[in-house]
Amino acid sequence: MKKYIYIILVSIITFSCTEDFLEESDRDKVIPKTVEDYSQLLYGEAYINDNSIASVVRYMTDDVTSKTGKKGWFGVTDKRESVAGYYNWQAEPEYNYSVGIAEDKNWGDLYHSILICNIVLDVADASDGSEAEKSQLKAEAYFVRAFDYFLLVNLFGEPYVNGAEMGVPINDLIGMEDVRFTRSTTGEVYTRIKSDLDKAIELFGKVNSKPTIFKGNLKASLLLASRVALYTKDWKSTIEYADDLLKISPTLKNLDKDYVNNEPFINRKNPEILYTYGYYYDGAFSQSATYFFTYSDEIDQLLSTDGDIRSRAFFKIVTGYYGSTSLAKSDVADETGAYGYAFRTAEAYLNRAEAYAEMKNISGCINDLNYLRANRFSKSADVSATTPEEALELARIERRTELCFEGHRWFDLRRQGCPRIEHKFMIDYKNVGMHEVYVLNENDAAYTLPLPLAVSEIETTMKNIKRPVRNHINK
């Protein structure tokens, strides 16, 4: 079969490293030679900062619901159409109401990024530059590749239980060879992720350059390593990586002291931000429409605890078209000085708290949760537990609350047993009580995305997820 990242028909071939290809006389081609050249290639082609990266996960969780407003100036408008297949967990979620296709670009974009990382790692040592510069370049490439595989295996691989599940292909190539790839197990993919992160952490430790939140760095690598350990049930390593991060970056934003009204929570001034990526704006959540998505009643209740400032920091009142509440955790980069999503220090406390609970360390779990809550509430809001099970439940609730709409919830649901979820789908703005109900069953196959249609049409021999055809229940 053709290479599964066949979508890459772009100019990266320009950067082939063969002597014959890189002719000095060909002035139309950019010929990278230095570490700086390859750093620019990595940043421009491997770091993904657009709206496609894993954005579909927000529609599939229990944190989101469908809502209706009213007929507007432009008639009845529906912002949900292109992503309704994900919200309703359809067998082929890329299809919309009009039987058109809203292409899932995650597979292609992430494997494109992996290919660029492979190329950079292959040539880094031979490029012109100091050893420190080469270490920085390789560390970033290992970090980016690890994050790519992390997203891929959690989007298109089966939920991890013991590592024997169907994962995603591992690509070590640096060219456009015609190779037939097969899926690796989730355990094999996570082994690669852990290896890349260990190398990134080691190399970043050798570099003295000032880190930037826009590129991979030591802190972000430690946090991702803690997250990966949590996902693979390695509680001891989860705690150790979190410890290593919190020794050098323990600061949380104190909302009682530092929150500014209407300032997006994810912004460059937030001291918790370790690494920022992606694009936050989502038209399906736009309230200037008759039908749109918004946060669920469950999230509203979780953030309605007396004194919890996150209810204001994460959401905002829209005073225009409908005068209701909308997501406001982030905004466009021009407004925030940061990309839409972020690795944040708060996650390290949450990772460690959950691992403590799994290891029956109740006090360790509760201490981390209460430290986080002390920075989120305007008054004392300590929690307590008498059993590890109670502590674990509190840790998971706090994680859901704190990290809502940052791309974590769907992956957390997968690793927490793939529970049953119901989604309401509004169908009549004149009668808000009329809606369809779609059900995602416990351990449903739809907890894994199918291959994108553009991929499955060519990759006919690659095993695909068989998701059930899903019909609605009228209510």
Cβ atoms within 10 Å of 322's Cβ, excluding its own: 16
- 129 lies in the same domain as 191: yes
**Do residues 201 and 171 make contact, with C-beta atoms less than 8 angstroms apart?**
no
Residue 275 domain-assigned? no
Burial of 189 (0-12, 13-18, 19+ CB in 10 A): buried
**Residue 308 bridge partners (DSSP):** 377
Which among 195, 226, 250 is the end of a domain? 195
User: Which H helix or E strand runs over 358?
Assistant: helix 345-358
**φ/ψ (deg, to 5) at 295:** -75, 155
Q: How many domains, in total, are found in the chain?
A: 2
- 113 lies in the same domain as 173: yes
**φ/ψ (deg, to 5) at 62:** -85, 10
- 117 lies in the same domain as 39: yes
Residue 266 domain-assigned? no
- CATH number for the domain spanning 113: value is 1.25.40.390
Q: Could you tell me which residues come within 8 angstroms of residue 213 by beta carbon, excluding any fewer than 6 positions away? A: 268, 273, 274, 275, 276, 338, 342
Cα separation of 236 and 356, whole Å? 9
Q: Could you tell me which residues come within 8 angstroms of residue 135 by beta carbon, excluding any fewer than 6 positions away? A: 203, 204, 206, 207
What are the pLDDT tens digits along the chain (475 aa)? 333 333 333 333 333 333 332 334 444 556 788 999 999 999 999 998 876 678 899 999 999 999 887 776 668 888 898 899 999 999 999 998 777 888 899 999 999 999 999 999 999 999 999 999 999 999 999 999 999 999 999 999 999 999 999 999 999 998 767 677 899 999 999 999 999 999 999 999 999 878 899 999 999 999 999 999 999 999 999 999 999 999 999 999 999 999 888 788 999 999 999 999 988 777 788 777 888 888 899 999 999 999 999 988 888 755 544 445 567 788 878 888 888 899 999 999 999 999 999 999 999 999 999 999 999 999 999 999 999 999 999 999 999 999 999 999 999 999 999 999 999 998 888 887 788 999 999 999 999 999 999 999 888 899 999 999 998 876 5
Cα separation of 380 and 373, whole Å? 8
Residue 376 domain-assigned? no
- 38 lies in the same domain as 175: yes
Domain encompassing residue 293: 55-104+281-328+414-474
Which among 195, 224, 257 is the end of a domain? 195
**Do residues 427 and 74 make contact, with C-beta atoms less than 8 angstroms apart?**
no
- 87 lies in the same domain as 178: no
Could you give the residue ranges of the DSSP H alpha helices within 52-105? Answer: 84-87
Q: Which residues of 249-286 are buried (b: 16+ CB within 10 A; e: fewer)?
A: beebbebeeebeeebbbbbeebebbbbbbbbbebebbe
Residue 387 domain-assigned? no
Which among 195, 225, 250 is the end of a domain? 195
Q: Residue 209: what residue type?
A: S
- 153 lies in the same domain as 297: no
Residue 391 domain-assigned? no
- 185 lies in the same domain as 123: yes
- 113 lies in the same domain as 188: yes
Cα separation of 40 and 37, whole Å? 5
- 121 lies in the same domain as 165: yes
